[in-house]
């Protein structure tokens, strides 16, 4: 079974990657700006295209414009493995626990073209 790869948006606290790797060291978690990922400052529509091309689900804080970007992305005939929106009321540990649960239990394409607001 294929596991979800996560790309953390540049405005997500990078300590989330540390927390995710603490729960599951083999999980693939990149941050915008990492080598091979989109550069910092990349526009959201370009990040979605990168996620589609590289099979990464996006983890973001962007609750306001990301739904519009996803709608436009799908309208143009594109897809994404999923977008997970962090909840500002959740602790870092709670967010990592939720994303780890998704990583461990998700079926392939279960979250394709969806925005999922944590907690699930």
Give DSSP secondary structure letters for 5-33: PEEE-TTS-THHHHHHHHH-TT--EEETT
What is the rounded CA–CA span in Å between residue 106 and residue 10?
24
- The answer to whether residue 25 is domain-embedded is yes
pLDDT-derived band of residue 3, with 50, 70 and 90 as boundaries? confident
For the residues 68-90, what does the mean pLDDT come to? 96
What is the rounded CA–CA span in Å between residue 8 and residue 18?
12
Sign of CA dihedral 41, 74, 94, 5: negative
Global pTM?
Answer: 0.95
Domain extent at residue 102: 6-117
- The answer to whether residue 37 is domain-embedded is yes
For the residues 38-55, what does the mean pLDDT come to? 97
The answer to whether residue 1 scores a pLDDT higher than 60 is: no
For the residues 54-65, what does the mean pLDDT come to? 95
**Confidence (pLDDT) at 77:** 97
- The answer to whether residue 81 is domain-embedded is yes
The answer to whether residue 85 scores a pLDDT higher than 60 is: yes
**Confidence (pLDDT) at 99:** 97
- The answer to whether residue 1 is domain-embedded is no
Q: How many domains is the chain partitioned into structurally?
A: 1
The CATH number linked to 10 is 3.40.50
Strand order in the sheet with 6-8: 29-31, 6-8, 57-60, 83-85, 115-117
> Mean pLDDT across the chain, nearest whole number?
95
């Amino acid at each position: 079974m294929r596991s979800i790869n996560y790309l953390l948006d540049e405005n997500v606290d990078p300590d989330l990657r540390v927390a995710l790797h603490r729960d599951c060291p083999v999980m693939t978690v990149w941050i915008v700006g990492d080598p091979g990922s989109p550069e910092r400052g990349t526009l959201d529509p370009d990040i979605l295209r990168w996620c589609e091309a590289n099979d990464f689900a996006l983890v973001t804080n962007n609750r306001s414009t990301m739904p519009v970007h996803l709608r436009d992305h799908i309208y143009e005939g594109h897809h994404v493995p999923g977008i997970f929106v962090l909840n500002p009321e959740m602790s870092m540990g709670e967010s990592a626990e939720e994303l780890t649960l998704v990583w461990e239990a998700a079926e392939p394409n279960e979250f394709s073209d969806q925005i999922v607001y944590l907690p699930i």
